[in-house]
């Protein structure tokens, strides 16, 4: 297969390939960028593979950085851009089921492509637009199939995270996992426990944010990967509820965790515990818990504008989207309008400060100041008083 027109990202990198070839070596675009261009999707990263060894690349280009030289990767700074260039390699020995114990640099493109995870990712593209396809990746792309390169059992024993990548690609591309690859995932699902939580979480969230997340999540459950993911083994039955919901896409990672907590009917405490087990960031954990509480308020149809404000008005759209997912009725337009009319976005917007209260009331600093400011903030949010200094001063004096 020959591409009629290379995308702009590839065109900008063509001089790099040309320099390598003029030095007597092979160089190709490889991996996800080739796959995505064929599928008509945006390209995120341009990866280049070459028969030149790292030291040879450093001789060809003046400006380089040893970003992962032990694995054959050198970053080349060229024409105002940076490109990661990796030497063709083979790998062996995967005692931790993630990283190879030994990397051997080779001159063969086919040997390099042979170590890749799936056929759709084992494609190479030369600078003339010719696609090199050694493992029927183009056929699998056309058939919307995710198939392991070679023996699936071997690929997943080399790197157990590839099982999560399979369901992630399934979700992002709306593809089907080929039968032998699927069977190998089922047989090796237990190896997921060998993988660092952070790496599993990254693939899990990418899967859940995909266009066909319910398909990917369905196989995440069907292949028993959920039983070896942090904190999910005892919840596999309830997690099936998510598959039956409306096909609503998640806005962000926070939405994913809130949906999981709501489907499992977790308490705030238990959701917090689950988030800690998955080692999410503090910011994600705080936002998720606030959105979760807001969703519960909407579900119970018992809330006021002060509660929404306290849980963070920035979380409203996320909670509203999750209401769609769980078929929770809410007066979106009415609530949205009420939120727009809130005079302040946070306590920092108040026209009066704690120091002002001390002077106005002639009192000493203490916890009472914080309580008074909170009362003033609530009064402003509920539009019982205007947010200007003079009116707030009168309000404070009349409510001391």
- CATH number of the domain bearing residue 89: 3.30.460.10
Specify the pLDDT at position 100: 67
CA dihedral 262, 263, 264, 266 (to 10 degrees): 10
Binding-site positions for Mg(2+) read 45, 47
What is the torsional sign of CA 243, 244, 247, 249?
negative
Mean pLDDT value across the chain: 94
Say if residue 26 is in the same domain as residue 119.
Answer: yes
Last residue of a domain, one of 112, 143, 174: 143
Say if residue 13 is in the same domain as residue 133.
Answer: yes
Binding-site positions read 32, 35, 45, 47, 116, 159, 162, 165, 168
Last residue of a domain, one of 303, 321, 342: 342
Say if residue 33 is in the same domain as residue 137.
Answer: yes
Last residue of a domain, one of 190, 220, 242: 242
Q: In this predicted model, what pLDDT tens digit does every residue of 46-99 receive, in sequence order?
A: 999 999 999 999 999 999 999 988 889 999 999 999 999 999 999 876 666 556
Say if residue 257 is in the same domain as residue 296.
Answer: yes
Taking each helix axis as running N to C, give the angle between helix 389-398 and helix 367-381, from 0 to 180 degrees, rounded to the nearest 10. 120
Say if residue 127 is in the same domain as residue 174.
Answer: no
Binding-site positions for ATP read 32, 35, 116, 159, 162, 165, 168
Say if residue 325 is in the same domain as residue 369.
Answer: no
Say if residue 218 is in the same domain as residue 293.
Answer: no
CB atoms within 10 A of CB 342: 17
Helices (H) and strands (E) in the chain, counts: 20, 11
Mean pLDDT on 295-313: 94
Q: Where are the beta strands (DSSP E) in 21-101?
A: 27-30, 47-50, 64-68, 73-78, 81-87, 89-92
Q: In this predicted model, what pLDDT tens digit does every residue of 371-400 receive, in sequence order?
A: 999 999 999 999 999 999 999 999 999 987
Whole-number Å distance between alpha carbons of 58 and 77:
11
Say if residue 115 is in the same domain as residue 33.
Answer: yes
- Count Cβ neighbours within 10 Å for each residue of 64-84 and write b for 16 or more, e otherwise: beeeebeebbbbbebeeeebb
* Domain ranges, residue 87: 1-143
Number of domains in the chain: 4
Say if residue 23 is in the same domain as residue 3.
Answer: yes
Binding-site positions for CTP read 32, 35, 116, 159, 162, 165, 168
Task: Give the N- to C-terminal CA distance of the chain in Å, as an integer.
Answer: 80
Say if residue 172 is in the same domain as residue 194.
Answer: yes
Say if residue 29 is in the same domain as residue 98.
Answer: yes
pTM: 0.92
Mean pLDDT on 15-43: 96
Say if residue 261 is in the same domain as residue 237.
Answer: no
pLDDT at 320 over 80: yes
């Amino acid at each position: 297969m020959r591409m009629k027109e290379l995308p702009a990202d590839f065109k900008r990198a063509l001089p790099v390939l040309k320099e390598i070839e003029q030095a007597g070596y092979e160089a190709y675009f490889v991996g996800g960028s080739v796959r995505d261009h064929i599928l008509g999707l945006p390209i995120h990263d341009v990866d280049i593979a070459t028969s030149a060894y790292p030291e040879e690349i450093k001789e060809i280009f003046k400006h380089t950085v040893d970003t992962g030289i032990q694995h054959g990767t050198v970053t080349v700074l060229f024409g105002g851009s940076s490109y990661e260039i990796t030497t063709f390699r083979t790998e062996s020995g995967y005692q931790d089921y993630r990283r190879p114990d030994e990397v051997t640099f080779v001159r063969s493109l086919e040997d390099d492509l042979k170590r890749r995870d799936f056929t759709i990712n084992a494609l190479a593209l030369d600078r003339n637009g010719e696609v090199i396809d050694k493992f029927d990746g183009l056929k699998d792309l056309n058939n919307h199939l995710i198939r392991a390169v070679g023996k699936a059992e071997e690929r997943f024993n080399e790197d157990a995270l590839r099982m999560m990548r399979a369901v992630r690609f399934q979700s992002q591309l709306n593809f089907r996992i080929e039968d032998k690859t699927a069977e190998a995932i089922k047989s090796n699902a237990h190896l997921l426990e060998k993988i660092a939580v952070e790496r599993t979480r990254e693939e899990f969230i990418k899967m859940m944010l995909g266009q066909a997340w319910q398909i990917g999540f369905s196989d995440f459950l069907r292949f028993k990967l959920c039983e070896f993911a942090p904190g999910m083994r005892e919840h596999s039955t309830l997690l099936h509820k998510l598959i039956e919901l409306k096909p609503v896409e998640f806005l962000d990672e926070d939405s994913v965790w809130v949906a999981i907590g709501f489907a499992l009917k977790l308490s705030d405490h238990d959701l917090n515990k689950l988030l800690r087990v998955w080692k999410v960031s503090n910011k994600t954990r705080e936002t998720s818990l606030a959105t979760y509480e807001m969703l519960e308020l909407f579900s119970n149809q018992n809330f006021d504008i002060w509660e929404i404000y306290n849980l963070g008005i920035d979380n409203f759209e996320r909670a509203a989207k999750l209401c769609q997912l769980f078929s929770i009725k809410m007066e979106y337009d009415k609530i949205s309008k009420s939120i727009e009319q809130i005079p302040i976005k946070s306590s920092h917007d108040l026209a009066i400060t704690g120091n002002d209260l001390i002077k106005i009331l002639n009192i000493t600093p203490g916890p009472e100041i914080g309580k008074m400011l909170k009362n003033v903030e609530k009064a402003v949010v509920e539009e019982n008083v205007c947010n200007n200094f003079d009116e707030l001063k009168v309000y404070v004096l009349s409510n001391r």
